[in-house]
A and B are shown apart, each in its own frame.
Chain A
Amino acid sequence: MYDVIIVGAGPAGLTAAIYARRASKTVLVLEAKAWGGQIINTPDIENYPVVAHISGADFANELYNQALALGAEVKLEKVIGVEDLGKIKKVRSTLAEYEAGAVILATGSENRKLGLDREQELTGRGVSYCATCDGNFFRNKDVAVVGGGNTALEDALYLADLANKVYLIHRRDAFRGEETTVDRLRQRENVEIIYNATVTALLGEKRLSGIEVTDKITGGKRSIELKGLFVAVGRIPENESFSALIDLDQAGYAVAGENCRTKVPGVFVAGDNRTKEVRQLVTAAADGAVAATEAVKFLNA
């Protein structure tokens, strides 16, 4: 039996671990993949207070070591369910079952897929979800970016410096992302923006050789030959294991206010998987502090 079990070892979960340990509570953190969460994909963090530059991997390792040094226990096990038994919460992982007085859900989010045939098979063979990780493989080649938010726009701009040609495919006639980035893209000679269109098929046998694009208005289809397809169509909160326990909004985010409390007493939510306006590294850490403080208050009541 632990005082607090934290699901997810990203910035929110590990910050919660630090706060709960400093309040002398016993803490178990369960993580499905590797500590750090999605920040590990960021080569250079420039917007965290005090630290002018740090890589995402360094940030993750420092935070992990800080939580361990304070006495938090971290296990690499995927949580598949949380059950509320009143005073006790049962947390089931793929390997074991644990009990805690309070639970903090800090599972974050994952990349949304296009949902196309063979998408999984071609991932790493031309289909990618991270332009800054994989852009280098497509130097002087033709690539496409799918999406209309800031990530898609920034990916297209990043790739325009590397690739021969960048197609930016967006299902609407206007972008949701920042206008300044859209303007910078329009000035690039090697960027072609295709509005009102979706990618409807992935072409190629062993590796991606092209895509089929369908115009949403005319229904017309065209094939584009390219080597790389970068998918930036948003993220999905990883709350599906908790849908029976707490309230989720239409997009799947865990409903909780700024105090990080869910409708279940003793179950809190912190970080990107919570309903909120700003999803940033610093707001994830802030959520961790708030959720842990609330959990300690709950345990001491």
Chain B
Amino acid sequence: MAIREINHGDFEEVVLKSDKPVLVDFNATWCGPCRMLKPALEQVAQERPDVVVVGIDIDENSDLAEEYDVFSIPCLVLFKDGMEADRSVGLIPKEQVLSLLD
């Protein structure tokens, strides 16, 4: 299952107003580690229907990257009730992505 890509237009609706926790993957097309992280995120999305997993391209949404202090990618930020609950920077294995959620 491919990860849904969102942008500044639907960020508030999809992330901030979500009933479920949302894991946001800040990435870019030119970022190799971001591409290598994708398969793990797809598996996590499948295994954890209680969490919404979305991607944000930082080149097209530099305003969001700036607002959330994203200065290295890949960067995973977990939102709960519209607030940042946790984050992880860099390529991490699937187990570490899962532990970010708990």
B70 touches which one: A32, A55, A57, A124 (CB < 8 A)?
Answer: A124
One of A13-21, A33-41, A148-156, A262-270 at the interface: A33-41
Question: How many positions in chain B have a CB within 8 Å of any CB in the partner chain?
Answer: 25
Q: How far is the CB of B84 from chain A (nearest CB, A)?
A: 11
- Nearest opposing residue in chain B for A42, CB measure: B32
Known contacts A55-B32, A60-B36; A40 and B91 CB within 8 A of each other: yes
Complex Cα gap A123–B89 (Å): 7
Contact check, B65 vs A137: say whether CB atoms are below 8 A apart: yes
Interface flag for B64 (CB, 8 Å):
no
Cβ–Cβ contact A126 & B91, under 8 A: no
Interface membership of chain B positions 43-75, coded 1 if the CB is closer than 8 angstroms to chain A and 0 otherwise: 000000000000000010000010001111101
B101 interface residue per 8 A CB criterion: no
Distance in angstroms from A80 CB to nearest chain B CB is 14
A136 vs B72: C-alpha distance when bound (angstroms): 9
- Secondary structure call for the A interface: loop
Contacting residues, chain A, for B28 (C-beta < 8 A): 136
* Chain B residues with a Cβ under 8 A of chain A: 28, 30-33, 35-37, 39-40, 59, 65, 69-73, 75, 87, 89-94
**8 contacting pairs across A/B (C-beta < 8 A):** A43-B32, A57-B33, A57-B36, A76-B93, A124-B70, A124-B72, A133-B73, A137-B72
Which residues of A are at the interface with B, using a C-beta cutoff of 8 A? Answer: 32-36, 40-43, 55-57, 60, 76, 78, 123-126, 128, 130, 133-134, 136-138, 206-207, 227-228
* Smallest CB-CB A-B distances: 8 pairs: A124-B89, A124-B72, A57-B32, A40-B32, A34-B36, A57-B35, A137-B71, A56-B32
